[in-house]
Chains A and B, each alone.
Chain A
Amino acid sequence: MILMHTPALQVIIPLIAAPLCCLLPKSRLAWLFTTLVSFSTFAISVLLVWQVHAVGVIDYEMGNWPAPLGIKYHIDSLSAFILILISAIASITLLGARSIIEQEILHSKHALFYTAFLLCLTGLLGIVATNDAFNVFVFLEISSLSTYALIAMGRNRKALMAAYEYLIMGTIGATFILIGIGLLYMQTGTLNMFDLHDRMPIIGGFNSVHAGFAFFTVGIFLKLALFPLHQWLPNAYTFAPSAVSVFLAATSTKVALYLLYRVFYTIFGFEFSFSTLHLGAVLLPLSIVAIILSSLIAIFQSDIKRLLAYSSLAQIGYMTLGVSLQTQSGLIASMINLFNHAFIKGALFMCLACIAYSIKTTRFNHMAGIAKTQPWVAAAFVVGGIALIGLPPTAGFISKWYIVLAVLETSWWLAIVVVLTSLLAVIYVWRVVEQMYLREPLDNIQYGTPVPMMLIICTWTMILLSVYFGIDNRFPVRMATMAAEMLIP
């Protein structure tokens, strides 16, 4: 019976767990409960991937109302791919994060922290699973509101201002998506994504549809933190609690990218988005500027979390560069980038969580010589940095390889830009590695708190996964190829 209801169970298990977690009295119990729930969502997403392999697509009608009257959940290869990514990241993060959460967050707020985490997980899983445009907006707001609350729990008082700015910008972005949904509903009378796609050729010439497309574009770019709508991301990732930074860096922009795929390929259709309305001409320059500018800014940062946040902005630029190439191979490269970057950035932010646990700060100057006291953490950062640059045998190399192959199909000078910007990544990764290994340690590091074994094990799990997917990349490549062939027929 579970097999019949997997799409619904994927979303409602964390949804039911959230109010239950709110009622739990002890912090350890809340952590255990949340970790078990996220592992069960991982198990269900594995079941979904297996079912999608067997059957192709899974359709699930909420309340037995047939689409387009009711809300339908539609799981295909793209959705299953992202679902398993989000649940895996959530599970590994929660498994290791108990100690850093207990250190950074007030004890009375622990149960509410885990409740907000479960609601964020529900929202992200719901955006991916659903096939109804307004349901996407509802789950988007669920995940965004819990993200604002999670970010505001950071240690520094700057976390409050970061959460407030993210609230204002994120709500404007989500409301723009709502306006886009409204304009499309006005012209078609339906909210089901496939139904909208079927009616798009009839109404494609109207100004309101073009306006809806523009609103969708701005809203999604804001959630994706693509240049120039990226201002909320560095502050939000830097001042959030360390466990929250790990989870958000690895999942929230990836789900926004999934929304981009769904809206521009499934709802509007490939020809309408890229040939009639020239989305590629907007995406390409913005992606290139995002890559170059963010990598340059990352070099000069004095807080390593901020450095990794700007590095994330650059990697998002690579993903949208793949989309803007308007080819199937570009889309495959973008999806592989999405998958690998989630593990690489999650692992790097987890290294920083270990360092933050030990010396209570992530500032560049305070990290001098930390390789002597925390050799495992520093080694993990080195491997993660190699993956970020894109050297074999890590997953980053696979991502860069596919991007360069896709870019070479259209223009050779873009490939040179991609390779040169990877060299920029070498500069900021080497800065940190030099500071960790080749400098003399300060006093506060000699007396730093020892990092708990669970956190180091989870960090190394994510690092080893990013190396594993560099060596055996059959799973991401197969899922990405199936998804790209479905999106661009």
Chain B
Amino acid sequence: MMSLITDLYAYWISVLLMMVGLYIVIDHNNLFKKLIGLNIFQTSVFILFISMGKVDQGTAPILKEGFETFSNPLPHVLILTAIVVSIATTAVGLALVVSINKYYKTINESEIQAIEREEA
């Protein structure tokens, strides 16, 4: 039972962060905090990918004399792309939140829904 946790600790951490991120997105009312939760969720996916790329006794995936075993470089490349995607998503989300603040004077989701319900 303990080996289930200690051998696969990377996956446990990744899933824990995934659930924390999803909970923040769902629960918080503040639009900024939702974006931070989304970022935590995406970071957990990066940890999942990178941790599975490590080869036992392998060093960093950079060619150098004296080393024979290297970690798998492909997950690193995939995660570089995914990090850029995550930053672009955060930038678009932040721009949207700033615009919402300008038009609604609040960034609290329940207040915005109350304003919309009053107008309807």
Contact = CB atoms under 8 A, between A and B. Distances in A.
A17 interface: no
A158 B89 contact: no
A167 B89 contact: yes
Interface string A143-159: 00100110010000110
A168 to B, nearest CB: 6
B45 A178 contact: yes
- Interface-centre pick from B48, B81, B92, B96 (highest chain A CB count, 10 A): B96
Interface string B26-62: 0000010010001001100100110010000000000
A163 interface: yes
Given A160-B103, A179-B48, A186-B52, A148 B81 contact: no
A138 B100 CA distance: 28
Interface string A161-181: 101100110011001001100
Nearest to B48: A182
Contacts of A167: 89, 92-93, 96
A134 interface: yes
Contacts of B89: 141, 145, 167, 171
Looking at chain A's contact residues, the main secondary structure is helix
Given A152-B99, A164-B31, A164-B93, A172 B48 contact: no
A172 B19 CA distance: 12
A168 B100 contact: no
A164 B96 CA distance: 6
B15 to A, nearest CB: 10
Contacts of B78: 134
A145 B88 CA distance: 8
The interface size bin for chain B is 20 to 34
A257 to B, nearest CB: 23
A228 to B, nearest CB: 14
Interface residues of A, number: 24
Contact of B103 (A149, A157, A182): A157
A111 to B, nearest CB: 17
Interface in B84-117: 85, 88-89, 92-93, 96-97, 99-100, 103-104, 112, 116
B22 interface: yes
A172 B25 contact: yes
B26 to A, nearest CB: 10
Contacts of B20: none
B35 to A, nearest CB: 8
A303 to B, nearest CB: 11
B23 to A, nearest CB: 12
B116 A158 contact: yes
B56 to A, nearest CB: 15
A175 B45 contact: yes
Contact of A179 (B45, B75, B92): B45
A149 B88 CA distance: 11
A395 to B, nearest CB: 36
A327 B7 CA distance: 43
A161 to B, nearest CB: 6
A163 B48 contact: no
- Interface-centre pick from A148, A158, A172 (highest chain B CB count, 10 A): A172
Contact of B41 (A145, A152, A175): A175
Contacts of A182: 45, 48-49, 52, 75
A171 B87 CA distance: 12
Given A149-B92, A171-B89, A164 B45 contact: no
Contacts of A145: 85, 88-89, 92
A145 B89 CA distance: 7
Nearest to A148: B92
B64 to A, nearest CB: 22
Contact of B96 (A148, A171, A172, A186): A148
A402 B24 CA distance: 45
Contacts of B52: 182, 185-186
B92 A168 contact: no
A302 to B, nearest CB: 10
Nearest to B104: A157
B48 A168 contact: no
Contacts of B22: 172
A168 B99 contact: no
A145 B96 CA distance: 12
Nearest to A181: B78
B99 A160 contact: yes
18 contacts: A134-B81, A138-B85, A141-B88, A145-B89, A157-B100, A158-B116, A160-B99, A161-B112, A164-B93, A164-B100, A167-B92, A168-B25, A172-B41, A175-B42, A178-B82, A179-B45, A182-B48, A185-B52
Given A168-B38, A172-B22, 14 more contacts: A141-B88, A145-B85, A152-B99, A160-B99, A161-B116, A164-B100, A168-B34, A172-B38, A172-B41, A175-B41, A175-B42, A179-B45, A179-B48, A185-B75
4 shortest interchain CB distances as A-B pairs: A157-B103, A141-B85, A164-B96, A186-B52
